[in-house]
Structure 1
Amino acid sequence: MGDLPPITRMLRAWRKARDPKAVPGLTARYGTRRRKGLTQAEVAYLAGVTEGWYSRLERGVPDGYSDEFLDSLVRILGLDDAQRTHLFLEVTGREPAPRCRPDANTIDPVVSHIVHSLPWPAYTYDPRWDIRVFNKAAARDFPWMLHGVNVMIWALTYPEARFQLIDWEETWAKPMASQLRIAWRTNPHDPRLAEVVQHIKDADPVAGRILEHDVTTVTHPDGDRRRLYLPHQDEEVEVEFVAFSRLGNNIRLMVVMPADIAQHAKEAMPSTIASVLDGTPETPASA
């Protein structure tokens, strides 16, 4: 063991320590296990590479390992910032680029307070789908948010997203690509939006084809129900998206509610008219 390259010892230790239940969809698809740890094949699949390619890295074979590939391992293995830095130093000889963090001046404190007060996953994002604020529930269910990833880039190009999001192409990719396509054509001179679109086209041919040629037309996901896998849950989950936009600064708020809770709220909530008493201020008494 002592003769093994440092990268081999590190990756093996991180891989064996990873709780399979923490990887969305892994135990739901393949069953629970008594021991922790991911296989090389599982790590490779989630990273979107062949097992042989990942094995070369773990054996310490030098090759052109991209930053995107190394950061996919960071997410899959649940590495912290120190471990991420160590991984990059061993593989590339340099420190990784800093994670993307929102400018504090772009964070709406009022909406941020709302986000952190909600019991369900919630986050804010700008018109380019760069996340601004997310709460603890969102970090728990969507740990990729901890890495400063754009919503569209994650959903449309990351291999682990296709593992987590059920019926990825029809239910997730096509509606989301439609939203992005409409936003891009409405704002063709927005440099960040153009950057997100180009990144998706360059990163993944399937997502690029959908973005360029699909005719699905969706302007927003508000009220949509979709299925996915969540960490530490062995069955698929259905959620409903509840979206808001603040008029003053165009920051969007997304709440991801369990579909059964959303449905119960709809059924339990009386209509506005039924709940207003006759003759209340600004409401004339019934004739």
Structure 2
Amino acid sequence: MGEKIGGTCPAIQGIFSRGDICRFHMDRPNCDYYPMSEHPNELTRMLREWRRRQDPNEVAGFTARYGRRRKHGLTQKEVAELTGVSERWYNKLERAVSAPYSDDFLDRVSRILNLDDDERHALFVYAVAREPAPRPRPDISSLDPYMVDYVRQHEMPAYISDQAWDLRIYNNEAMKQFPWMKYGINIMVWVLAFPEAKFQLIDWEDAWAKPMAAQLRMAAAQHRDNARLAEVVREVRERDEAARRVFDNDVTSYTHPDGSHRRMYLPHHADKEFEVVWLAFAPLRDQSLRFIVSIPADTSDQPASAAIPEAMPSASLGAPSMPASTYAEATAL
């Protein structure tokens, strides 16, 4: 076969010697095919352009962390923090340095830079020479169609999740509040283990992580035969050190979120804080499902007629009263 050159084609996992032809890349003797070395300029140009066009206001909590910014664009450091990696690791990707970038990391970059399906496909091909897996989609096949329609038509942010906190259906208002829902990410995994959750969710550890980790622990203990639930627990513990610490060591007891008040930032609302109340329901026909609705906290002392979106007051904290439609507008942008 001749002298080994140490090249491996990632597309077929073949090692090539001098004079060999890669059957996958027929124009490349001794394949050693890595798109990073063959097409570095394409990847670098694309990532720089995707960073440049990104509106920081689309990232909930960005302004509270980094301050107000008039121009579009994210820095490499900001993308690294939002994807949970070191600035050096993200810089290697943008400089088109060959490295074992995981699908999870590339999908985080894709999500933070708001890439469409074609751009996501290009990112994977140029970075790791393979196509990405299809994005997961919520499974509504076993849900009552009337329930699906009700969630979609609900005026407030609403969604249904299953016993393992996988999303089954959500409405547009919920997606505008939490854009990650369109990527099919598990709710517990996002809240507990995704870096951008700590940007958006105010007092992340005490108000969000501890009670939700307590729910997850209790559900895992109660439903030991649920393989998907066990998988969610593993993913939470493996993804984030702080989440693992909270899950393993905290002693909070918490059964459900119904009636809980929590604060968060919303996309396109800079550093304005919103306090919301979470209402939780379970369909009588299948009580493993959770039907969750979020409403602004300051409607509790008003008549029901005042709670419709057109009359919904803002839940902003630490600020004077605002126009009545602020929260509804915030979730309808």
Q: Same fold (TM over 0.5)?
A: yes
Contact 1:240 1:262 survives alignment (8 Å)? no
Letter in 2 for 1:116: R
- After TM superposition, the structure 1 stretch with the greater mean CA deviation from structure 2, 204-213 or 232-241, is 204-213
Counterpart in the other structure of 1:81: 117
CA–CA distance in structure 1, aligned partners of residues 292 and 232 of structure 2: 20
Name the SS for the 2:160 alignment partner.
strand
Counterpart in the other structure of 1:244: 281
Q: Moved runs in structure 1, 4+ residues, more than 6 A?
A: 266-269
Counterpart in the other structure of 1:255: 293
Counterpart in the other structure of 2:150: 114
Counterpart in the other structure of 1:92: 128
CA–CA distance in structure 1, aligned partners of residues 300 and 131 of structure 2: 44
Q: For 1:88-237, list aligned pairs within 5 A.
A: 88-234=124-270, 235-237=272-274
- Any unmatched runs of 5+ in structure 2? 1-38, 308-333
Contact 2:120 2:132 survives alignment (8 Å)? yes
2:91 to 39, 55, 80: 55
Letter in 2 for 1:65: Y
Letter in 1 for 2:122: H
Counterpart in the other structure of 1:264: 302
* Larger radius of gyration between Structure 1 and Structure 2: 2
- The 1:256–1:160 alpha-carbon spacing in structure 2 relative to 1, beyond 3 Å, is same
Q: CA deviation at 1:261?
A: 3.0
Q: CA deviation at 1:4?
A: 5.8
User: Percent same amino acid at aligned positions?
Assistant: 51
Contact 2:164 2:229 survives alignment (8 Å)? yes
Contact 1:157 1:204 survives alignment (8 Å)? yes
Letter in 2 for 1:198: R
- The 1:201–1:35 alpha-carbon spacing in structure 2 relative to 1, beyond 3 Å, is same
Contact 2:299 2:306 survives alignment (8 Å)? no
CA–CA distance in structure 2, aligned partners of residues 209 and 111 of structure 1: 37
- After TM superposition, the structure 1 stretch with the greater mean CA deviation from structure 2, 126-135 or 92-101, is 92-101
Q: CA deviation at 1:102?
A: 3.1
Counterpart in the other structure of 2:76: 40
Counterpart in the other structure of 1:64: 100
What is the aligned-residue RMSD (CA, Å)?
Answer: 1.8
Letter in 2 for 1:19: D
CA–CA distance in structure 2, aligned partners of residues 248 and 116 of structure 1: 19
Q: Which has the higher contact order (CA 8 A, sep 6+)?
A: 1
CA–CA distance in structure 1, aligned partners of residues 218 and 304 of structure 2: 30
Name the SS for the 1:264 alignment partner.
coil
Q: In the TM superposition, what whole-angstrom CA distance separates every residue of 1:61-120 from its partner, at most 9, and x where no partner exists?
A: 111211111111111111111111111111111111122223342233222122122221
CA–CA distance in structure 1, aligned partners of residues 305 and 209 of structure 2: 30
Name the SS for the 2:291 alignment partner.
strand
CA–CA distance in structure 2, aligned partners of residues 263 and 143 of structure 1: 30
Q: CA deviation at 1:28?
A: 3.3
- The 1:115–1:5 alpha-carbon spacing in structure 2 relative to 1, beyond 3 Å, is same
- The 1:40–1:95 alpha-carbon spacing in structure 2 relative to 1, beyond 3 Å, is same
Letter in 1 for 2:214: S
Letter in 2 for 1:110: Y
- After TM superposition, the structure 1 stretch with the greater mean CA deviation from structure 2, 175-184 or 70-79, is 70-79
Counterpart in the other structure of 1:21: 57
Letter in 2 for 1:252: R
Name the SS for the 1:238 alignment partner.
strand
Contact 1:28 1:236 survives alignment (8 Å)? no
Taking structure 1 as the reference length, the TM-score comes to 0.88
From the two aligned structures, give the one with the greater helix fraction. Answer: 1
- Any unmatched runs of 5+ in structure 1? 270-287
Letter in 1 for 2:290: R
Q: CA deviation at 1:266?
A: 7.3
Q: CA deviation at 1:40?
A: 0.9
